[in-house]
Chain A
Amino acid sequence: MTTLTFPLSRIEGHARVIIEARGGIVQSAKFQATEFRGFEYLVRGAPAEQMPVLVPRICGVCSTAHHVASVKALEDAYGVTPPPLALTIRELLMLGQLLQNQATSLFIFTMPDRLGVDSLFDVDTTELDGDALAGVAARALQVRQAGTHLITLAGGQFIHPVKAVVGGVTGGIGAAAASAMRAELAEALPVACALFDTYWDYSVALSARLGTWGDDAPACYLTAVCGERPNYYGDFIRLMGCESGDVCAQFPAREYRAFLTVEEAEYSYAAQTSYQGHVLRANSLARANLVDSLGTPCANEYLQRFHREFGQPAHAILLFDLARGIELVYAIERAMEILADPLEGAETRIPYTPRDGEGYGLVEAPRGPLIHHYRIENGLIAQAEFVIPTVHNILAIERALRVAAERYITPERVNLELERAVGRVVRAFDPCIACATH
């Protein structure tokens, strides 16, 4: 038996891939998450109202999503409905999260694969297509920073934000700050589009060189946004069936167990989800498949081109990366729309009375639907459960790894392309290991 171990980089957290082959026949391809901190255990006994400050620490990349999901779970338990302005500011927070994450994944994590370098910060020292790539690192960081500034504006801090509270948010956004942010986004938009166009071209060239866009077998898709106009704030979870390409189930977070099977794996600190034995996929491609229109001009144009060129639903895994670029553009455009409206003056939070019970909070994080579920006794957390988007993708990652392994392992030899393929496969799913293991 030949066992190949691939350490992973340019993803969030610690994980590795183990591929086993015998006589050139692939036996297994496993994705191992190798870190674990134990949040479900360590928050037991915490005063429930402290969760929105504690749980962002599950992940510094996704802290905004955890912050908002946590507040929503408490509101569900306490029976509170925040005022409309608070919901708008939370949507802005989620857009900042989306913008920051998709810029990071697109440019810092996966662009180097298209350019054949080890890191985005190496690009300018290599001899590549000058114009399109001049100053690519600086431009990518500029776009990414527009996202972190947006989170800071709406959340107080761009990592581990604090402004969402039970019943609303701690305050509105002043007109001057909003218009400055809008100006920054307006500047970032053409930069983001130009970078994404380059990225798209390089992705097409990459797939032409490889002769594949990766694992393109059908899968079921899972997202908390859907239909004509997405809202990453999250309401229901929708599931697109494997065969049909239609929405085959729609359910609130509290019913997720009736639809999703979550199982522990003995070789990894991350669990795995499936739907009636089928491989599930969440993240950008799930949304591109389930959303018909984004409702903002540039992003919509990209989405239509995507649907035209690759179909709806599309299945090949490198399309996850392209779908991320569309959302990057959407996040900028949508945030600009929201910032044009007044974001202060109206009520931002309403009073509430804490009570014991159970609550579920759902948001569409960049990686897919995120659920926080708390049971509260005597004001303290008796049990907490975090249902993590990356976990929905683990089986899909393993299936795609197997497809890549079968392509590059033959009875004669292991093609050296395999190592790069493993990196590309995993990064297409943009897994977050700190979240997946928590």
Chain B
Amino acid sequence: MKRFAVLQLSGCAGCEVALLNAEAWVAQYRLVYMPLVVSAEDVPEVDVLLISGGVRTDEDLYKLRRAVKKAQQVVAVGTCAISGGVANLGDRDDVRALFLAEKDRPHVPRLLPKSHPADAFVTVDLYVPGCPPTSELFMAVLTNPHDFQASKVVCQECGRQKLKDVKPAHLLGFQQGEVLPDVCLINQGYLCVGSSTRGGCRAPCPRAGHPCVGCRGPSDVFIEKESAAWFTSIKRVFATMTNVPEDEIERGLRSPQLALFLFQFSDYADNRTVGGGYHPRPKEKVL
């Protein structure tokens, strides 16, 4: 039986919980390390190492560097491990200064200045974006990542219909309005970014009547490009499908601390290792 381990760094455990729901691995793999569910001292030699969470403390970094040495294959799962995730919203001067000052604790692991993705420090063989990735994606990682079938973008998995003649004049807040079933959320004035977000999640959010916030990250078309390219693409979609003024879209997309769009948390294309080298994520490595 193949062996796998899950190294949990600083995250929310949502990734691990999603993995628990993909229980079909129980028959095929032996889970040898995952502090959430297994009491084991250290990461042993494994076929697959999943890394979840961002590198937030010096202890995270130490554990990460030790663990990858034991693994045949290293997989970064979830937005936190891939782009620093939600904690990366703290990567602003004002915020950093405040919490590094207020949260200085002498007896616990020291905080790094920001939440780093795993590949800032170690080589990653496969990336599985999502916040969290769905249970289906976890199963695919552990069984046959190459056979995983997904649409290019979330829109193609959402099942809502795009209407040519319904053009909203303004954006509706996420929380407002009555959502019509079956009609594209953009037609209804919601800032949904499913049109440039990587497919594979089966679009649970727009199906439930909530705009996609892009947790799966950029689609293959954009993943090796800079974030400006994603913005341009989203704006083009809204220019075609709505009468919302361009500056209103711009404001919505670039909310003050980029709170909304999870794939903006860090620039996938402009990822640099801490040492300096440029390090793009080739689309072949992203599930």
Residues of B within 8 A of A152 (CB): 204
- Looking at A14, A50, A59, A351, the one whose CB has the most chain B CB atoms below 10 A away is A14
The answer to whether B175 and A163 have CB atoms under 8 Å apart is: no
B26 in contact with A13 (CB, 8 Å): no
Instruction: Judge whether A163 and B37 touch: CB under 8 Å.
Output: no
Residues on A with beta carbons closer than 8 Å to the beta carbon of B244: none
Measured between C-beta atoms, what is the minimum distance from A410 to chain B in Å?
25
Interface centre among A12, A37, A119, A266 (most CB of B within 10 A): A37
Our pick among A165, A170, A268 for the contact of B108 (Cβ within 8 Å) is A268
The contact size tier of chain A is 35 or more
Give B188 Cβ to nearest chain A Cβ, in Å: 12
B259 contacts A267, C-beta separation under 8 Å: no
Question: Which of B94, B111, B208, B257 has most chain A Cβ within 10 Å?
Answer: B208
- Prevailing SS type, chain B contact patch: loop
Q: Which residues of A contact B11 (CB under 8 A)?
A: 60, 434
- Indicate if B68 sits at the interface (CB-CB under 8 A): no
Contact A354 B173 (CB under 8 A): yes
A37 near B90: Cβ-Cβ < 8 Å: yes
| A159 and B208 in contact, given A119-B38, A269-B108 (Cβ under 8 angstroms) | no
A43 within 8 A of B: yes
A contact residues around B59 at 8 Å (CB) = 34
Q: How far is the CA of A162 from the CA of B210 in the complex (A)?
A: 6
Task: Tell whether, in the assembled complex, residue A45 and residue B256 are in contact, meaning their CB atoms are under 8 Å apart.
Answer: yes
Task: Choose one: B98, B115, B205, B259; the contact of A46 (CB below 8 Å).
Answer: B259
Q: Could you say which of A37, A45, A61, A118 contacts B87, with CB atoms under 8 Å apart? A: A37
Chain B residues within 8 Å of A170, by CB: 179, 208-210
- For the complex, give the distance between the alpha carbons of A156 and B131 in Å: 14
Q: Contacts A9-B35, A50-B174, A63-B14 given; indicate if A118 touches B40 (C-beta within 8 A).
A: yes
Q: Are A60 and B16 in contact (CB under 8 A)?
A: yes
Q: Does A136 count as interface, using CB distance less than 8 angstroms?
A: no
A175 to chain B, nearest CB (A): 15
Partner of B107, one of A120, A141, A266: A266
Complex contact B179–A171 (CB within 8 A): yes
Taking a contact as CB atoms closer than 8 A, the residue among A60, A145, A162, A171 that contacts B132 in the complex is: A60
Known contacts A41-B90, A266-B105, A349-B178; is A57 also within 8 Å of B14 by CB? yes
Question: Once the chains bind, are A157 and B204 in contact (CB under 8 Å)?
Answer: yes
Considering only residues 134-151 of chain A, those with a C-beta below 8 Å from chain B are 137-138, 141, 144-145, 148
Cβ-defined contact, A159 with B18, below 8 A = yes
Given A47-B256, A118-B40, A121-B38, A156 contacting B205 (CB threshold 8 A): yes
A233 to chain B, nearest CB (A): 19
State whether B105 touches A267 (Cβ < 8 A).
yes
Contact: B259 with A157, CB < 8 Å?
Answer: no
Q: Could you say which residues of chain B place their CB within 8 Å of the CB of A166?
A: 175-176
Contact of B174 among A112, A160, A165 (CB under 8 A): A165
**B166 CB–A CB distance under 8 Å:** no
A267 touches B13 (CB 8 A): no
Instruction: Check A41 against B39 for contact (C-beta < 8 Å).
Output: no
Specify which chain A residues have a CB less than 8 angstroms from the CB of B15 in the assembled complex: 60
- Do A119 and B26 touch across chains, with their CB atoms under 8 A apart? no
Indicate if the CB atoms of A268 and B105 lie closer than 8 Å.
yes
Q: How far is the CB of B62 from chain A (nearest CB, A)?
A: 12
Q: Would you give the shortest CB distance from B138 to chain A, in whole angstroms?
A: 12
Let me know if A108 is at the binding interface, CB within 8 A: yes
Interface string of B101-121 (1 = CB under 8 A from A): 001011111010001000000
- The CA-CA distance from A74 to B23 in the complex, in Å, is 36
Contact between chains at A59 and B12 (CB < 8 Å) = yes
Minimum CB–CB distance for A147 against chain B, Å: 10
Binary contact readout A37-68 vs B (1 if CB under 8 angstroms, 0 otherwise): 11001111111011011100111110100000
Pair A160/B207 contact, Cβ less than 8 Å:
no
Instruction: Determine whether the beta carbon of B90 is less than 8 Å from that of A121.
Output: no
Q: For the complex, is B161 an interface residue (Cβ under 8 Å from A)?
A: no
Verify if B5 is at the interface (C-beta below 8 Å from A).
Answer: no
Q: Contacts of A354 on B, CB cut-off 8 Å?
A: 173
Interface string of A1-25 (1 = CB under 8 A from B): 0000001111111100000000000
**Contact present for B173 and A49 (CB under 8 Å):** yes
Check B57 for interface membership: any CB of A closer than 8 A: yes
- B260-A159 in contact (CB<8A): no
Q: Give the Cβ gap from A4 to chain B, nearest Cβ, in Å.
A: 15
Which A residues lie within 8 Å of B57 (CB)?
Answer: 34-36
Q: Which of A60, A108, A119 is within 8 Å of B14, CB to CB?
A: A60
Does A418 make an interface contact (CB < 8 A)? no
Chain A min CB distance to B102 (Å): 8
A92→B20 CA distance, assembly (Å) = 22
Q: Is the CB of A37 within 8 A of B38?
A: no
A53 touches B174 (CB 8 A): yes
Residues on A with C-beta less than 8 A from B64 are none
Min Cβ gap A218→B in Å is 30
Complex: how many Å from CA A145 to CA B18?
11
Contact between B213 and A35 (Cβ–Cβ < 8 Å)?
no
B149 at the interface (CB under 8 A from A): no
Contacts A60-B14, A160-B14 given; indicate if A12 touches B21 (C-beta within 8 A): no
Query: With contacts A37-B115, A50-B174, A171-B209 known, is A108 near B39, CB below 8 A?
Result: no
Contacts of B105 in A (CB 8 A): 266-269
Verify if B221 is at the interface (C-beta below 8 Å from A).
Answer: no
**Does A38 contact B87, Cβ atoms closer than 8 Å?**
yes
Q: Does any Cβ of B come within 8 Å of A167's Cβ?
A: yes
- What are 15 A-B contacts defined by CB distance under 8 Å? A9-B36, A34-B109, A41-B90, A41-B95, A45-B256, A49-B175, A50-B255, A57-B131, A108-B20, A120-B37, A155-B208, A157-B208, A162-B210, A266-B106, A434-B12
Q: 7 nearest interchain CB pairs?
A: A60-B14, A156-B208, A170-B209, A162-B210, A42-B90, A119-B38, A46-B259
Interface of B toward A, CB cutoff 8 Å: 8, 10-18, 20-21, 23, 26, 30-31, 35-41, 56-57, 59, 85-87, 89-90, 92, 94-95, 98-99, 103, 105-109, 111, 115, 131-132, 173-179, 181, 204-205, 207-210, 213, 255-257, 259-260
